[in-house]
């Protein structure tokens, strides 16, 4: 901030001095309520046309409506009126997205000035020039260099049309040093700075009461003490449900002598509209305010969903009260009462197995080894759910890190043979077998399916193979046919299956929808096999699939291959096929199959 701006703030405004006098006299400072939700309520449920400019959009398009809302809060008796600049830090980004053809030529800094001017006008028109302060509201995280630059540019706005204080609200995490650097920048304006966090006694708190921040201990309390040392004027909590307010004021008081306040929500956001709380009327809200006052709140107002009627009733209720020192009851454990230590019954599946936490194998994935994907997990889930492979000889084709091999062995397989073209993958699988105590039932072999001649049959086969259509003009040439359809490996494996399956054997094969069904069905029938879908899952396109999307689209145009699209996201379906011998194919088995070349075209 410029030195000239700092020098300009040698004394506080008369309206702010009134707030200081109220605190000294132990009178309750009353904030206004939600501006954005009050705009919505008054306009018959009309929501923000620009959701990223929550409420602030009205400064661009409906300034008279903003003035009317401000005036109603002034008349309701509030001592602090917040500007409708809640999303002002998003305004420059919004202008950039609109571009020159939008027809909206209002500069965001002029919008910020207008926000201050409208609040000041409402106060003056209400005859409360010296006893109602204008708080310039900023309600977004300062989480990028661009936003930090926007914050610094606000000094130009404040130099010309200063508010009485700056309110940085709805903050969440206390990041060091970013949070304290932001506060320091605001303090350099010479304006009083108030802070408000979306927090309850248990940490960061969302509008539905959900706690999503990390464990912090007393980090927020210690930050409050640091804010006080820096010169912050007040500390509050906002934008959380009313039932999460109790306990936070008395807890903060252990760390700081700053003036403390609360202004929670009533209701919650549903889609693009605010759903107002029809249970807590103005009288009930006033009763809640009195309880917060008893705990020590010196500043009380309302956030989203709190109306002018709520503020008016609450202001009258707290007018002649003084802040108390009431604390919530001590936890029974601190009083020597034994807590209920009954362990929580773990979640179980239909077989009675504990599934929380899920008994997933202990796996590491070595560098360069294929990392399991949705398709791999789909096959694993079926092996786990069905406890498949017990007392059977099993084959894992394309074993990767061994996710399927290890699970089959854990299920009690007599022997699991893991094969992969990558010798690192085979070594990784065997090592993971050792980690899970099943190495005595696990064997491995480096195998190129195109050159492999099977010499035994298996009771159960699991396969999650690589499947990707490739543009032949972009793929390098070689001795193998280019994988235009993405099916080469899968088709060759299907042709091998009659030689691999025991007479009553079962194969579990994952196939993606971008390959189509017809070719698979034809090859299975030729081999005397049949298949049914036993499970499926959705498989979002990753970077490699997006890279090959043009070829995937070509394949889908000329075959029954397909994928789904949700908004801007492309999603495949991963099918899990259970393959067995058909009635017609069951009598074809003879030892000659073991030496017959099933794929002379490969």
Other CB atoms within a 10 A radius of the CB of residue 599 amount to: 14
Q: Which residues contact 339 (CB under 8 A, 6 or more apart)?
A: 332, 333
Encode pLDDT of 415-436 as tens digits.
999 999 999 999 999 999 999 9
Which distant-in-sequence residues (6+ apart) come within 8 Å of 574 by Cβ?
374, 375, 378, 510, 511, 512, 513, 536, 537, 538, 539
Give residue 343's pLDDT. Answer: 79
Residue 331: the pLDDT is 66
Number of H helices, E strands in the chain: 20, 20
Q: Has residue 371 got a pLDDT over 80? A: yes
Asked whether 119 and 72 are in contact (CB, 8 A), the reply is: no
172 contacts 219 by C-beta, under 8 angstroms? no
Q: Which of 73-87, 201-215, 546-560, 569-583 has the lowest mean pLDDT?
A: 201-215
User: According to the CATH classification, is domain 374-588 in 3.40.50.150?
Assistant: yes
* Helices of type H across 126-199: 145-160, 178-187
User: How high does pLDDT run on average in the chain?
Assistant: 89
With vertex at residue 429, the alpha carbon angle to CA 483 and CA 533, rounded to the nearest 5 degrees, is 55
* 510 phi/psi in degrees, rounded to 5: -90, 130
pLDDT for residue 586: 59
Write out the two tokens for 99. Answer: 């571009």
Total-model pTM: 0.67
Collapsing DSSP to helix, strand or coil, 504 comes out as: strand
CA–CA separation, 299 and 502 (whole Å) = 78
Question: Is there a common fold for 18-333 and 374-588?
Answer: no
- Buried-state track 418-439, b at ≥16 Cβ within 10 A, e below 16: bbbbbeebbbbbbbbbeebebe
Quick check: 308 pLDDT over 70? yes
Q: What is the DSSP string of 192-237?
A: -EEEEESEETTEEB-TTS-B-SPP-TTHHHHHHHHHHHHT--EEEE
pLDDT at position 34:
94
pLDDT interval class at 211 (50, 70, 90): confident
The rounded percent of the chain whose pLDDT value lies above 90 is 71
Q: What is the pLDDT of residues 496-523, one digit of tens each?
A: 999 999 999 999 999 999 999 999 999 9
User: Is 271's pLDDT higher than 80?
Assistant: no
pLDDT for residue 334: 61
pLDDT greater at residue 102 or residue 462: 462
Q: What is the pLDDT of residues 345-365, one digit of tens each?
A: 999 998 899 999 999 999 999
> Which candidate, 474, 503, 469, 505, places its Cα nearest to that of 484?
469
Average pLDDT (217-225) is 94
- Say if residue 11's pLDDT is above 50: yes
- pLDDT of 98 > 70? The answer is no
Domain 18-333 belongs in CATH node 3.40.50.970: no
Nearest-10 crossing angle of helices 145-160, 91-98 = 110
Ranges assigned E (strand) in 352-414: 393-397
C-alpha to C-alpha distance for 207 and 233, rounded to whole angstroms:
25
- Contact by Cβ (8 Å): 159, 5: yes
Query: What is residue 311's predicted lDDT score, i.e. its pLDDT?
Result: 98
Q: What is the pLDDT of residue 599?
A: 44
The strand pair at 415-420 and 393-397 is best described as: parallel
Residue 33 CA: distances (Å) to CA of 238, 260, 315, 500: 11, 17, 11, 72
Predicted confidence band of residue 556 (pLDDT cuts 50, 70, 90): very high
Partners of 507 in the β-ladder: 461, 579
Measured CA to CA, the distance from residue 402 to residue 406 in angstroms comes to 6
Residue 585: per-residue pLDDT: 62
Helix (H, G, I), strand (E, B) or coil at 399: coil
- Please state, in angstroms and rounded to a whole number, the distance separating the CA atoms of residues 463 and 576: 10
Q: Which residues of 117-129 are buried (b: 16+ CB within 10 A; e: fewer)?
A: ebbbebbeebebe
Picking from 276, 300, 9, the residue whose alpha carbon sits closest to that of residue 158 is 9
Give the tokens for residue 204.
């960061």
Domain ranges of the chain: 18-333, 374-588
* Residue 140: per-residue pLDDT: 67
Sheet (strand 193-197) strand order: 29-30, 299-300, 260-263, 234-238, 193-197, 165-171, 133-138, 80-82
The pLDDT tens digits of the residues spanning 108-134 come to 889 999 999 999 999 999 999 999 999
The secondary structure of residue 79, as a DSSP letter, is S
CA distance 568 to 571: 10
Residue in the structure block whose two tokens are 């773990």: 346
Q: Is the bond preceding 28 in cis, omega lying within 30 degrees of 0?
A: no
Rounded Cα gap, residues 280 and 288, in angstroms = 9
Sign of the dihedral through C-alpha 406, 408, 414, 420: negative
**End-to-end distance of the chain based on CA atoms, in angstroms?**
72
Is 166 in contact with 135 (CB distance < 8 Å)? yes
Confidence of residue 444 (pLDDT cuts 50, 70, 90): very high
């Amino acid at each position: 901030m410029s030195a000239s701006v700092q020098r300009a703030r040698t004394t506080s405004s008369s309206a702010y001095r009134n707030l200081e006098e109220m605190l000294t006299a132990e009178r309750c400072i009353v904030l206004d309520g939600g501006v954005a939700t009050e705009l919505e309520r008054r306009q018959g449920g009309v929501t923000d046309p620009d959701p990223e400019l929550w409420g602030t959009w009205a400064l661009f398009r409906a300034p008279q409506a903003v003035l009317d809302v401000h005036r109603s809060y002034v008349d309701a008796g509030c001592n602090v009126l917040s500007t409708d600049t809640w999303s002002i830090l998003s305004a420059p980004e919004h202008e950039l997205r609109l571009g020159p053809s939008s027809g909206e030529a209002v500069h965001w800094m002029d919008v910020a000035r207008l926000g201050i001017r409208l609040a000041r006008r409402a106060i003056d028109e209400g005859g409360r020039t010296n006893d109602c302060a204008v708080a310039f509201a900023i309600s977004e995280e300062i989480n990028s260099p661009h936003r930090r630059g926007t914050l610094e540019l606000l000094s130009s706005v404040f130099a010309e049309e200063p508010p009485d204080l700056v309110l940085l609200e709805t903050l969440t995490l206390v990041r060091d040093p970013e949070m304290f650097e932001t506060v320091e920048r605001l303090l350099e304006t010479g304006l009083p700075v108030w802070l408000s966090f979306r927090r309850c006694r248990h940490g960061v708190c969302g509008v539905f009461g959900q706690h999503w921040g990390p464990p912090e201990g007393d980090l927020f309390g210690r930050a409050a003490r640091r804010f006080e040392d820096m010169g912050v004027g007040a500390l509050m909590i906002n934008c959380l449900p009313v039932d999460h307010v109790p306990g936070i004021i008395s807890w903060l008081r252990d760390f700081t002598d700053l003036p403390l306040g609360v202004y929670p929500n009533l209701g919650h956001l549903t889609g693009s509209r605010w759903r107002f709380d029809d249970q807590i009327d103005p009288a009930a809200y006033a009763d809640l305010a009195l309880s917060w006052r008893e705990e020590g709140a010196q500043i009380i107002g309302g956030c989203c969903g709190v109306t002018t009627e709520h503020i008016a009733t609450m202001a009258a209720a707290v007018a002649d009260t003084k802040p108390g020192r009431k604390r919530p009851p001590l936890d029974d454990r601190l009083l020597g009462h034994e807590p209920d230590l009954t362990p929580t019954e773990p979640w179980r599946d239909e077989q009675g197995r504990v599934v929380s936490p899920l008994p997933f194998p202990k796996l590491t994935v070595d560098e360069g080894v294929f990392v399991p994907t949705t398709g791999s997990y789909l096959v694993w889930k079926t092996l786990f759910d069905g406890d498949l492979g017990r007392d059977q000889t099993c084959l894992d084709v394309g074993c990767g890190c061994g996710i399927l091999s290890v699970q089959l062995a854990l299920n009690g397989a007599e022997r699991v043979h893991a094969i992969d073209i990558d010798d690192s993958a085979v070594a990784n699988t065997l090592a993971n077998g050792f980690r899970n105590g099943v190495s005595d039932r696990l064997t491995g072999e480096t195998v190129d399916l195109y050159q492999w001649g099977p010499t035994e049959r298996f009771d159960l086969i699991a396969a999650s193979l690589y499947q990707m259509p490739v543009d032949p003009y972009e793929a390098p040439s070689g001795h193998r046919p280019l994988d235009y359809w993405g099916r080469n490996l899968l088709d060759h494996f299907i042709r091998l299956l009659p030689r691999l399956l025991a007479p009553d054997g079962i194969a579990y094969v994952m196939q993606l929808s971008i390959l189509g069904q017809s070719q698979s069905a034809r090859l299975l029938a030729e081999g005397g096999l049949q298949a049914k879908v036993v499970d499926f899952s959705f498989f979002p396109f990753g970077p490699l699939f997006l890279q090959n999307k043009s070829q995937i689209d070509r394949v889908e145009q000329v075959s029954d291959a397909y994928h789904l699209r949700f908004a801007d996201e492309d999603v495949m379906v991963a099918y899990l096929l259970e393959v067995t011998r058909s009635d017609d194919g069951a009598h074809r088995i003879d030892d000659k199959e073991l030496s017959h070349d099933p794929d002379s075209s490969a």
